[in-house]
Chains A and B, each alone.
Chain A
Amino acid sequence: MASRDMGRPRPGVLSGLSHVALAVWALLIILPLLWTFLASFKSNSEIFGDPLQLPGALRLDSWGRAWDEAHIGQYMLNTVIVVFFGTAGTMLFGSMAAYVLGRYRFVGHKLIYYYFVAGLAFPVFLALGPLFFVVKQLGLLNSHVGLILVYIAYSLPFTVFFLAAFFRTLPEAVAEAARIDGASHTRTFFQIMVPMARPGLISITIFNVLGQWNQYLLPLVLLAGAPDKWVLTQGIAGISTLAGYQADWPGLFAALSMTILPVMVVYIIFQRQIQSGLGSGALK
C-alpha cells in the first residue's frame, strides 16, 4: 500500500506497521539476552524446560561459582589489565606517529605514512603463524606484556590513519604561536595539540577499547599455554566447552551475564560516543 496521500486520511496504519517491524527486531535482540540473564538463576532442569518459564527461585550460587570456580573474576581482571595498557599504549604511540606524519614535512614522510596504512589491507590470519614465532623468539609467549605489545602494533594502522587526518585539520596558527613563545615541539604536542584533538582522540579510544576488549583470535594464539592469563572472550569459550562435561549450565549463563552486564552498563552510559566512535571506522 504505497499510499499516495500519505499523512492525510489514515496516518496511523503505516506508522503502526512501522512500529510492528521495529518492535519485532527489538524483541529479537532483547529476548536472547533476557533469556540468558534469567537462565543464570535457573536450575539445570529449568534451563532445559520451557524457554518461556521464569526461574523458580532466585538462585545466586551460580554467580558465585562462575566468579570463583570458573575464574570469571580472574579473566575479567586480566582483560582489564591488557585492554587498559593496550589502549593507553596505542593512543600514546599512535597519536605521536599520527601527529608527526600529519603535520611535519620531512624526507620519507609520505612513505612512512603509507607503510603504516598498508597494515589495513592485510587479513590478520596471514600473519598468524609467523607472529606466533616472532613473539615466541622474544620470550613473550603466554605473557600479558606480549599480548599488549601485539595489540598496540595491530591497532596502530587504523589509529595512525584516522588521527593523522584529524591532526591535519587543526589550525596552524595555534601551533605557530606556541613556537614563537618558545615551546618545544614535544611541549606543543602534549600541551596544545592533544587537547585540541580531543574529539578525535575520544572516538578512536572507544574504537580501540572495544576492539581490544572483544579480541579473541590473538589471545587464543598467544596465551594458549597459560590458562591463568586468559582474557574473558577466551575464558567464556573455554567455560562453554567445560559446561557440557560438568553439566553446570546455570554457571555458564551466570558467566555470560557477568560478561555482558558491565558492557551493557558502559554502553548505556556512553552510547552516543560509542556509536560515533565505531561509526568513525566507516565514515572516513
Chain B
Amino acid sequence: MERLRKYGFVAGFLVVPLTLYSVFVISPYVQAFQLSLTSWNGYSAIVRYVGLDNFGRLLGDEVFWQALRNHGLLLLALPLTTLVIALFLSFLLNLGGGARGAGMRGVWGSKFYRVVFFFPQVLAVAVVGVLFQAIYRPDEDGVINGLLAKFGIEPVGWLIEPGLALWSVMAVMVWQGVGFYVVLFSAGMAAIPKDYFEAAAIDGAGRVRLFFSITLPLLRDTVQVGWIYLGIAALDGFALIQVLVGDKGEPDGATTILPITIYKNAFSFGKVGYASAMGVALFFLTVTFAVLTLRTTRRERVEL
C-alpha cells in the first residue's frame, strides 16, 4: 500500500513537467533532426526525404561559411577580451588596496563598482541593442561620432564598415558581459585564503606577481567555466545582431551568423528542412566547442 502510494505520488508530480517538456522541447528537437533530412517548406502536406542533400548544400553555401568565419572570430576574441578585462577589474577591486596590516584589501568603493559593473547584465539584449544603435550612428549625430567630432575626427561608420561592424557588435557584448565575470571572479578571489597573499607579499612579491602566481592559477576552474559560457554566447548573438544591425548580415556579410540565418531560412524563405540542417550543424559546433574546451584546459588541479 505504502509502495503504491509512493509510486502514485511520484507519477503525479512528474506528469505535468514531463508532458510540457516532451511536447515543447524534446519533440521539436527530435523533429529538427528528422526535418534536416527533408526538403520541407513549412506548409506542404508532403514531406520529401532527401537524405543528406541539405548538408551537402550547406558545404557549398557561401553564407554558411561566412557565418562560420564570423563565429570563429567571435569565439576567439569575445572570451579573451571579456575575461582579460574582467580578471583585471576584479583583481583591482579585491586586491588593489594593497597589503597593509592584516592582509589584502579591496579598493575603496569596491561595492559600488561591483553594483555598476553588473548592471548591464540584467538588461535585455534587445534593449541594449536599441541603445547602442544611437551610440553607433554612422553620421555626426551618433554619440561616439559626435564626441569624436569635438576632436576634429571624421565620423566612423561603426556598423557599416565591413571591417569594423563585427568588432563594434563584439564591443557591446563585452560591455554587457564583463560585470557578470567580475562578480564571478570576485567570489573566487574571496575564497582564496588571505595568508597566501601575505606570505607572498612578505617574500617580496609585487602585485603583478601575486596575480600571475597565486590568483590566476587558483581561479582556473572559474575562468574555464567563463570561457565555455562566452563561447556559447559567441555561437548565439541573435538578439543583439538582429536589433543592432538587422538580419541581412550587412555590411557585406560581416555580421552574418548562424542563428539569424536559421531564423530567416525557416520563417522568411520557407526552407524549414535546410534551416534544420543548419541547426544540426550549430548543435554539433556547440557540443564540439564545449568538449574541446573542457579537454584542452583540463590539467592537474591546484588543491586548496
Contact = CB atoms under 8 A, between A and B. Distances in A.
Interface in B229-249: 229, 235-236, 238-239, 242-243
A129 B131 contact: no
Nearest to A232: B124
B20 A217 contact: no
B143 interface: yes
A19 interface: yes
A150 B131 CA distance: 28
A112 B143 contact: no
B243 A153 contact: no
Contacts of A21: 88-89, 92
A259 B127 contact: yes
A169 interface: no
Nearest to B147: A51
Contacts, number: 286
Interface string B133-144: 111000001010
B266 A11 contact: no
Interface residues of B, number: 102
Interface stretch (A26-34, A59-67, A197-205): A26-34
Which secondary structure dominates where chain A touches chain B? helix
A203 B259 CA distance: 29
Contacts of B99: 6-7
Interface stretch (B27-35, B49-57, B151-159): B27-35
A28 B109 CA distance: 17
A130 B180 contact: no
Interface string B270-281: 001001100110
A185 B259 contact: no
A114 interface: no
A70 interface: no
A130 B276 contact: yes
B25 A157 contact: yes
Nearest to B183: A275
B266 A97 contact: no
B65 interface: no
B286 interface: yes
Given A11-B98, A130-B31, A233 B283 contact: no
Given A104-B6, A128-B266, A130-B28, A29 B119 contact: yes
B85 to A, nearest CB: 8
Interface string A258-284: 011001100110010011001100110
A99 interface: yes
Nearest to A146: B24
Contacts of A121: 286-287
A15 B276 contact: no
A165 interface: no
Interface residues of A, number: 100
Q: Which of A28, A30, A189, A264 has the most CB of B within 10 A?
A: A28
Contact of A236 (B127, B229, B282): B127
Contacts of B251: none
B19 to A, nearest CB: 9
A246 to B, nearest CB: 15
A217 B130 contact: no
Contacts of A126: 29, 32, 276, 279-280, 282-283
Contact of A122 (B9, B29, B259): B29
Interface in B141-199: 141, 143, 146-147, 175, 178-180, 183-184, 187
Interface of A: 2-7, 11, 14-15, 18-19, 21-22, 25-26, 28-30, 32-33, 35-36, 39, 47-52, 93-94, 96-97, 99-101, 104, 106, 112, 115-116, 119, 121-123, 125-135, 138, 149-150, 152-154, 156-157, 160, 184-186, 189, 210, 213-214, 216-217, 221, 224, 232-234, 236-237, 239-240, 249, 252-253, 256, 259-260, 263-264, 267-268, 271, 274-275, 278-279, 282-283
Interface of B: 5-7, 9-10, 12-14, 16-18, 20-21, 23-29, 31-32, 35, 42, 85, 88-89, 92-93, 96-100, 107-109, 112-127, 129-135, 141, 143, 146-147, 175, 178-180, 183-184, 187, 201, 204, 206-209, 222, 225-226, 229, 235-236, 238-239, 242-243, 258-259, 262-263, 266-267, 272, 275-276, 279-280, 282-283, 286-287
Given A122-B283, A186-B12, A267-B119, 12 more contacts: A6-B207, A25-B178, A100-B9, A115-B26, A126-B282, A128-B262, A128-B263, A130-B35, A233-B127, A240-B130, A259-B124, A279-B180
